[in-house]
């Protein structure tokens, strides 16, 4: 279904029912709701589960206001919840989607029943100055975009099987460059630690071994529970959906109805 978002039409996949709080699944940069298919099927056996295409991704429109920072994406999630008459939900966010979930919890803490952060972005406000990051973004803004972004994604997909690699790269290919680069720039200065400090429900981050920087959320936020999945790519929920869904179920058991 399509709904009117704060800055353009948003595609939403909604289904399932049950007495527990609904789950909202938020994809990564250059992802889309179909990357959660295995989780939607699993969750909808017992509860309502929703996935959306964020602004500028998948079947959703690019934002008319041009905003691509975590808070703007979080406003998309808020509008989806409002339209679907969901007062409170568990947010599951992958990569950039993890940052979106964190931003949402900081803005509307009473509506986030819990946060499961799947190999999430770090806390951009805690990153050390690094000239190579700006150089990479400038390269993405130039004629080498296709080569540079494909190489970056391929590195993140190193441990993925061929089917996952093809799916993720196909989703990257259909995502506008303005969305990819604008979202990367839009992260700058986002204070994830401050947003998480306002959260009220249980929180867990599940990371790959490569997600261990000084600015990684589990290194910045005191008391944030962390689990690790090994032998998987950045898209762990696609690589080993059964193992991931079991971890998701364990987390959901901690969330109060």
Residue 12's nearest CA partner among 34, 30, 29 is 34
The tally of domains found in the chain comes to 1
Q: State the average pLDDT over residues 217-246.
A: 97
- pLDDT at site 230: 97
- Matching residue, tokens 């429900």: 201
- pLDDT at site 132: 87
In a domain, 231, yes or no: yes
- pLDDT at site 105: 98
State pTM to two decimals: 0.97
In a domain, 125, yes or no: yes
Task: Supply the DSSP symbol for 53.
Answer: P
Task: Supply the DSSP symbol for 129.
Answer: P
Q: Which residues contact 79 (CB under 8 A, 6 or more apart)?
A: 3, 4, 5, 6, 10
CB 196 within 8 A of CB 203: yes
- pLDDT at site 129: 83
The C-alpha atoms of residue 93 and residue 72 are separated, in whole angstroms, by 15
Has residue 233 got a pLDDT over 90? yes
CATH number at residue 160: 3.40.50.1820
Supply the mean pLDDT for the chain.
97
In a domain, 95, yes or no: yes
In a domain, 6, yes or no: yes
Q: Which residues contact 130 (CB under 8 A, 6 or more apart)?
A: none
What confidence category does residue 161 fall into, taking pLDDT thresholds of 50, 70 and 90? very high
In a domain, 257, yes or no: no
Has residue 175 got a pLDDT over 90? yes
In a domain, 191, yes or no: yes
Q: State the average pLDDT over residues 28-50.
A: 98
Domain range enclosing 198: 2-252
Q: State the average pLDDT over residues 142-156.
A: 96
In a domain, 10, yes or no: yes
């Amino acid at each position: 279904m399509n709904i009117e978002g704060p800055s353009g039409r948003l595609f939403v996949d909604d289904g399932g029912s049950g007495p527990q709080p609904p789950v909202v699944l938020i994809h990564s940069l250059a992802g889309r709701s179909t990357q959660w298919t295995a989780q939607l099927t699993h969750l909808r056996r017992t509860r309502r589960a929703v996935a959306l295409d964020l602004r500028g991704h998948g079947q959703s429109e690019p934002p008319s206001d041009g905003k691509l920072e975590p808070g703007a994406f979080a406003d998309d999630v808020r509008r989806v919840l409002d339209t679907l008459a969901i007062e409170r939900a568990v947010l599951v966010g992958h990569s950039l989607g993890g940052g979106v979930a964190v931003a949402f919890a900081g803005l509307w803490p009473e509506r986030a029943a819990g946060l499961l952060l799947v190999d999430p972005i770090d806390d951009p406000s805690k990153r050390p100055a690094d000239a190579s990051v700006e150089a990479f973004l400038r390269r993405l803004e130039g004629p080498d975009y296709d080569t540079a972004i494909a190489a970056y994604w391929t590195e993140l997909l190193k441990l993925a099987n061929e089917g996952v690699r093809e799916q993720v790269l196909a989703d990257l290919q259909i995502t506008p460059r303005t969305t990819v680069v604008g979202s990367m720039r839009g992260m700058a200065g986002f204070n994830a630690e401050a947003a998480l400090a306002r959260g009220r429900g249980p929180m867990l981050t599940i990371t790959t071994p490569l997600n261990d920087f000084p600015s990684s959320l589990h290194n910045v936020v005191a008391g944030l529970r962390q689990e690790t999945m090994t032998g998987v790519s950045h898209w762990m929920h696609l690589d080993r959906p059964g193992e991931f869904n079991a971890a998701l179920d364990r987390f959901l058991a901690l969330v109060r109805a």
